[in-house]
Amino acid sequence: MNKDILTNSSLACMRRCPRQYFYRYEMGLRPETDAAPLRMGTAFHRGVERRDPETAYKLTDDLEAAIIATMLTGYVWLYGNEEPDVETEMPFEIPLVNPDTNTASRTFVLAGKMDGIRKIDDTRLAAKETKTTSDDISDGSDHWLLKRYDGQLTLYYIAARYLGFNIEAILCDEARKPSIRPKQIPELDEDGCKITVDEKGDRVFLKNGKPRQSASSKDGWVLVSRTETPDEFAVRFLNDIVERPEYYFARREITRLEQDIDDYRRELWQQAKNMIEARKHGRWYRNVGKWSCGMCEYKNICLQNITVNPDMPPVGFVILQNVHPELEGDNYDSKETPSKTAATIA
């Protein structure tokens, strides 16, 4: 009998909001276009696999591609000379086990994909996890506190050991996305002077006849400017990485006690029982709130109580046959031209 797959993503979705889980994993309803964080995270992950700053291949937005290419350049600069991992890109499918009887679920299996297995300190093994984030990744930040009970990392412990790797830690590679953004650059005339214009668009000059080179909100005068190009931004971003790499990249060993692992096994079993109960009665309640609904792609459908016909999904949505596309094989076309060239570190 084919069993249904539970992943860290689907479990987290069910905890966040059962109705969201229903749309995403029971119906297979997904937006036609991935959200920017997911697109950028996937592109960065693929680039890390190949140690290749040019691997922003799925990003059609020039700025997104420039950001990821530059982050990859910084990552390779810091870590490019390391020994290769023992194993890379390790998909897994393992039993969901009742912690009291040690018997496997007849309904679900656990699945996912670890970034790899790495040897640390010559003798110890660790599973590797690479992520992009907008969080503060400095020592003492909440980002690392949350890792203490991050279910995905505990699941990696369980999966790695099931596959025969007696890991002692999770090696978390965190890459922080830039807080800086493209800035406005003043346009210059043929003499290299900034251009100030009034409300009518006419150039403003000083009393001595020289061109004014500063704005004045009081008088309605503005500097003619343009937005920094992705290439220009990439250079500025790369310089910032070189000046303070610890702001953008952090690596920590995260461990689990045996009690932590046992507790998580029990949580998994409890969540599976909740899913079976929801399926049995067709009850997928909404978890309505600012944090749960604010970023939810289904909020307009859900909060307006729109009935979704799987044969005719709403505009902007599709129905996926495989509700776990993250487990599919890599369909990267190595011959595809990258969308953006990265700046380089000498």
- In-domain check, residue 323: no
- In-domain check, residue 89: yes
Regarding whether 192 and 175 lie in a shared domain, the answer is no
116: left (phi > 0), else alpha (psi -120 to 50), else beta? Answer: left
- In-domain check, residue 125: yes
Regarding whether 212 and 173 lie in a shared domain, the answer is no
Can you give the pLDDT at residue 336?
Answer: 29
Tracing tokens 């403003």 back to the chain, one arrives at 204
Regarding whether 249 and 188 lie in a shared domain, the answer is no
Q: What burial class does residue 17 get, using C-beta atoms within 10 Å of its C-beta: 0-12 exposed, 13-18 middle, 19+ buried?
A: buried
Q: Per-residue pLDDT averaged across 42-51, rounded?
A: 81
Regarding whether 140 and 100 lie in a shared domain, the answer is yes
Is pLDDT above 60 for 188? yes
Distance CA 84, CA 114 (A): 15
- Give the range of the structural domain holding residue 217, as residue numbers without chain letter: 184-227
Residue 170: give its domain's CATH number. 3.90.320
Number of domains in the chain: 2
- In-domain check, residue 342: no
- In-domain check, residue 314: no
Q: Per-residue pLDDT averaged across 172-178, rounded?
A: 95
Regarding whether 190 and 69 lie in a shared domain, the answer is no
pLDDT single digits (tens) 85-138: 888 888 999 999 999 999 999 999 999 999 999 998 888 999 999 999 999 999
Confidence of residue 41 (pLDDT cuts 50, 70, 90): confident
- In-domain check, residue 267: yes
Distance CA 298, CA 287 (A): 12
- In-domain check, residue 46: yes
Can you give the pLDDT at residue 342?
Answer: 42
- In-domain check, residue 303: no
Regarding whether 127 and 266 lie in a shared domain, the answer is yes
Which of these, 229, 225, 268, 297, lies nearest to 66 by C-alpha position?
229
